[in-house]
Amino acid sequence: MIFNKKGEIDFLNLLIQSAENTLKGAQMFRSAMMGDKPPATYYDSLKEIENVGDSFTHEIFKGLNKVFITPLDREDIMELAVRLDDVLDGIEASIARFDYLNIAFTNQYMKDFSEVLVSSCEHLLAAFKLLAKKKYIQIQEHTVHINSLENEGDRLMREGIREIFTSPTDPYHDFKLKELYERLEQTTDCCEDVADILDSVVLRYA
């Protein structure tokens, strides 16, 4: 458990550490997409990062059960923790597909998705740091970027799936790509979900 100088549970710092861990996962996923090794070889390492993320979420929930006064509404802290965990779960689920669908290659769509996820997680981390400093208005600069990146994720999925159906190859191969693109797009949605909660916090506290 992390405490502030007053000896209180530091929920905002826990959220920052969770966001840092989520960014670490996104960066590892990008390495998997950009590297020369089969992407599935990164699964165990990413699973460890995902387990660390679960522990942060557990710590936040355990802390909320112990205290009555929190820096934000309890529901906001819970939603931020859960939705942030969803981002990392999505990254882990995406790399898992390389394993159980036996995808041994990457392409430009996958690489571009990995860049979108890293950028989104960088903006999330910056937003959580501003939240801890109560710089609410500045948070919106980052949530706007995250929303734009989610739109980019939509575009990548549409173009990737369009290519599958305009230039079909083996049906099993095409199914694998469609499954992966859709999961990656859902993960960019998860980033936007966190941004939406941050925007609602800004409206109430700014």
**Structural domains of the chain, with CATH:** 11-205 (1.20.58.220)
Residue 8 is predicted with a pLDDT of: 59
Where the chain has pLDDT below 70, the residues are 1-8
pTM of the model: 0.94
Residue 205 is predicted with a pLDDT of: 85
Residue 12 is predicted with a pLDDT of: 96
Pairwise CA distance, residues 27 & 29, whole Å: 5
Residue 7 is predicted with a pLDDT of: 47
State the amino acid at position 2 in one-letter form: I
Interval 1-33: pLDDT, tens: 554 555 457 999 999 999 999 999 999 999 999
> Residues with Cβ < 8 Å from 203, sequence gap 6 or more?
none
Residue 9 is predicted with a pLDDT of: 79
Closest CA to 12 of 2, 21, 24, 23: 2
